[in-house]
Amino acid sequence: MSLAALFVQLLNGLAGASTLFLIAAGLSLIFGVTRIVNFAHGSLFMLGSYIAYSLITRIGGTGLGYWAAVLLAAVCVATIGALIEILLLRRIYRAPELFQLLATFALTLIVQDVVLQLWGSENLVGPRAPGLKSAIFVFGRALPTYDLALILIGPLVLGLLWLLLTRTRWGVLIRAATQDRDMVAALGVNQAVLFTSVFALGAGLAGLGGALNLPREPANLGEDITAIGDAFVVVVVGGMGSIPGAFLAALLIAEIKALCIALGQVSFLGFAISFPQFTLVAEFVVMAIVLVLRPWGLLGKPQGSVRSIGQIEAPIVPAGRMLQMIGAAVLAALLVLPLVAGGESYSTVLAIDILVGVLFAVSLHFIMGPGGMHSFGHAAYFGLGAYGAALLFKDAGMPMELALVAAPIVGCLGALIFGWFCVRLSGVYLAMLTLAFAQIVWSIVFQWDELTGGSNGIIGVWPSPWLATKAAYFYLTLTLCVAGILLVRRILFAPFGYAMRAVRDSALRADAIGIGAVRVQWTGFVIAGAICGIAGGLFAFSKGSISPETISISRSVDGLVMVLLGGIGTLVGPIVGSVTFLILQDSVARQTEYWRALLGLVIIFLVLVFPQGIAGTIQSWSKRAWKPA
C-alpha cells in the first residue's frame, strides 16, 4: 500500500465522519435533554435520504435547487420529529427509560413499512450535486469533489451548533435542561416547548445526514439499523450529551475504518490478516475499549446520580395460589397439545418456537429485572449456544444430546468474558457495551467462512432419531424450558437473588453490607448467559440450520420487546410477554405484508395503555380490585 492511497482513504474517512457526526450529534442532543435514547434516530436518517431523493429528482437539477432540496429534506424530517415528540414521546417521559426505548423501537418498525410503501424496496441511487460531480486528483488518485464538500460540512455544522448552544438563550436553556430539568421548570421555563424543539433539531440533523449521504450510498431499507448502530457507538464513544465528543468520535471511528480498508490484506507473523473485514467490528471494538478505559466516553463527564423520576419498584413475590393454578393448567394444556393438535402440526412447531422464545426472554429478564442490567446484546449468548451446539455436532462429531448439553456451557463462557467488562458499567453504557459484544460475535460468525459458513450458516443440524418427530422435540423443549424457568425462580428466591436485587437497588449500600456488587452481577450475567445458551441450542436443533441472523441486533431487540411487553417487575412478565409477542408476530405476519408497521402500532398501543407491561398492569389491577381503597 502506498502512502498516497492511505492519504486518499483518510480523506474519504473524513467525508464519512461528517455524516456520522450529523446523526450522532442529533442523537446526543436528544438524549442530553429528554433522556430518551431514541432508537428511531436511524429511521429519521433513512427518511432524510428517501425524502431527499424525491426532492432532488424533482428540483435538484441546478446547484441551488439541489441544496434547497437537501435542506428541505432536513426540515421535513425535523417536522416529523416534532410530531413524534408531541404525539408520542410527550406521553411517556415519566415512563421507565426502557419503555421509551420500546416506543421508539416501534417507530422504526412503522417507518420501515411507510418507506417500503412509498418508495418501494429497490435501492434508490441519488444523483450527485451539480457542480460537484467531478473528482480532483490527489497524488494521482481520484477523490470526488462531493467528498471534499462533506469534509467541510461536518466542522461547519459543529461550529453552528456550538454557536447555537453557547450564544443563544435557547442554547443556554438546552444546556441547563441537560443537567437539571426540574430546576429549569421551577425557573419558569416551559419544558414541553424545549423538548419539542430539541427533538426537532436532532431529527433535522439526522435528516440532513441522510440527505447528504445520498450521493455516497443509495437510499435503502437497511440504512436505519446501520445508522442507529453507528450513531449509538459514536455517541457512547464521544460521551453522552457531548457534541464535540460526538465529532471527535465520528472522526476516530471513520478514520479507523478507512485505515482498515487502506491496509488491506496484511501478513503478520505468518498469519494473513484481512483488515477490510475488520471494518464491520472496528467501531464496536473501539467502543468496547473506550467504555472499559473511560466509561463516560472521550469528552463526556462521569454521570452524577440521576434524579430518579421512576416509581420505586415493588419487590417480586412468589406466585399466589391463583397464579399457580393457572400455571398448572397451562402446563397441562401444553402436555396434551401434540396429541390434540397433531404431532407434526403447525401448532406444535409454533409452540416449540414460543417455548424457545420464552426461555430466551426469561434469561434476559433475569439480568434486566432483578439484576437491573439492561442487556441490548442478549442475542450473543443465544447465538453462542446455537453455534456452539451446531459446530460441536457437525464439526466435532459430538452426539446431538451432548452438543445440546454443551450449548449452555458455551453461552456461559461467552457471558463469563463479556460480563467481566459489562458489570463494571451501568445504565445506558452497560447496554451499549452488551450491544458491542453481540455485534462482535455476529461479525466473527459472519466473516469466519471456514468455521461458521459465513452468511450461509450451518445446515443439517438435526436432532437424534428419538427426537426426530416434532412431538418428541416439543416435549424435550417443554421440559428444558420449564426446568429453566423453575431454576431461575429458585435462584431469585435464594439468598443470591436477594443479593442481586440489593445490588440493583443500591450498589453502594450492597457493597457496604458486604455483598460484592461486581461479583454478584457477574455471576448473574453468567447464569443468564448459560440459560440463554440452552435456548440457543434448542433453537438450532429445532430449525435444522442456523445463520448469523441468530445473533442479529433484531433478535436482541425482540428479546427486549418480549420482556418489556410482559413487564419487568414480575416473573410471569417475560413469559406473558414472549408468548404475546411471538403469537402476535406469527399471526400478524401471515395477515399482511406490512406486518412490521402493525406490530409497531400494537407495541405503541401497549406502551401507552400498559405502562407497566401486560403482567405488571394485570397485577396492579388485581391488587386494586382486592384491596378497597
Using the minimum distance from each CB to other proteins, give the nearer residue, 173 or 214.
173
Q: Compute the least distance from the CB of residue 115 to other proteins, in Å.
A: 37
Task: Classify the phi-psi angles of 336: left when phi > 0, otherwise alpha if psi is within -120 to 50, otherwise beta.
Answer: alpha
CB of 612 to other proteins, least distance (A): 15
CB of 179 to other proteins, least distance (A): 5
Any contact of residue 311 with other proteins (CB under 8 A)? yes
Nearer to other proteins (CB atom), residue 74 or residue 173: 173
Residue of 496, 182, 483, 285 whose CA lies nearest to 370: 496
Residues with Cβ within 8 Å of residue 260, at least 6 apart in sequence: 275, 276, 278, 279, 282
Min separation Cβ 428 and other proteins, Å: 19
Whole-angstrom Cα distance, residue 202 to residue 44? 9
Instruction: Candidates 183-191, 254-262, 438-446, 573-581: pick the segment binding other proteins (CB under 8 A).
Output: 183-191
Shortest distance, CB of residue 223 to other proteins, whole angstroms? 34
Q: Which of 64, 160, 183, 273 binds other proteins (CB under 8 A)?
A: 183
Alpha-carbon span 36 to 485, nearest angstrom? 32
The CA-based angle 478-480-485, given to 5 degrees, is 95
Does residue 622 belong to the site contacting other proteins (CB under 8 A)?
A: no
Within 10 A of 252 (CB to CB), how many other CB atoms are there? 19
Stretch that binds other proteins, among 181-189, 439-447, 574-582, 599-607 (CB under 8 A): 181-189
Q: What's the 3-state SS for 569-598?
A: CCCHHHHHHHHHHHHHHHHHHHHCCCHHHH
Task: Count H helices and E strands in the chain, helices first.
Answer: 25, 6
12, 232, 246, 91: CA torsion to nearest 10: 130
Under rule CB under 8 A, residue 449 binds other proteins:
no
From the CB of 191, what's the least distance to other proteins, in Å?
Answer: 7
176 vs 608, which CB is nearer to other proteins?
Answer: 176
Count of residues engaged in binding other proteins, rule: CB under 8 A: 20
C-alpha 295/C-alpha 424 separation (Å) is 9
* Residue whose C-alpha is closest to residue 279's, from 229, 222, 205: 229
How far apart are CB 180 and other proteins at their closest, in Å? 5
Distance CA 10, CA 13 (A): 5
Query: In whole angstroms, how close is the CB of 164 to other proteins at the nearest point?
Result: 14
Q: Which is nearer to other proteins, 180 or 344 (CB)?
A: 180
d(CA 167, CA 161): 10
Stretch that binds other proteins, among 174-182, 215-223, 323-331, 589-597 (CB under 8 A): 174-182
Greatest Cα-to-Cα distance within the chain, rounded to the nearest angstrom: 82
Applying CB under 8 A, does 627 fall inside the site for other proteins? no
The answer to whether 91 contacts other proteins (rule: CB under 8 A) is: no
Q: Which stretch in 117-125, 177-185, 511-519, 577-585 sits in contact with other proteins by CB under 8 A?
A: 177-185
Interface with other proteins, residue 62, by CB under 8 A: no
* Cβ(548)–Cβ(457) below 8 Å: yes
Q: How far apart are CA 615 and CA 599, in angstroms?
A: 19
According to the binding rule CB under 8 A, does residue 312 interact with other proteins?
A: yes
Kindly state the smallest distance separating residue 617's Cβ from other proteins, in Å.
18
Q: Does residue 172 touch other proteins according to CB under 8 A?
A: yes
C-alpha distances (whole Å) from 287 to each of 41, 408, 439, 462 are 19, 27, 11, 38
> Locate cell 451446539: which residue?
389
Residue 169 interacting with other proteins (CB under 8 A): yes
Minimum CB–partner distance for residue 287 and other proteins (Å): 24
Q: Cα-flanking dihedrals φ and ψ of residue 136, to 5°? A: -100, 160
| Stretch near other proteins under the rule CB under 8 A, chosen from 7-15, 65-73, 139-147, 179-187 | 179-187
CB of 183 to other proteins, least distance (A): 4
Query: Least distance in Å: CB of 56 to other proteins?
Result: 40
- Among residues 300 and 408, whose Cβ is nearest to other proteins? 300
Per-residue binding letters, 184-223, with other proteins (x by CB under 8 A): xxxxxxxx--------------------------------
d(CA 54, CA 60): 9
By C-beta, is 141 or 175 nearer to other proteins? Answer: 175
Q: Whose Cβ is closer to other proteins: residue 193's or residue 589's?
A: 193
Beta-ladder partners of 509: none
What letter would DSSP give residue 89? G
330 part of the interface to other proteins, by CB under 8 A: no
179 near other proteins, rule: CB under 8 A: yes
In terms of C-beta density within 10 A (0-12 exposed, 13-18 middle, 19 or more buried), how is residue 378 classed? buried
In the complex, the residues that contact other proteins under the rule CB under 8 A are 169, 172-173, 175-176, 178-180, 182-191, 311-312
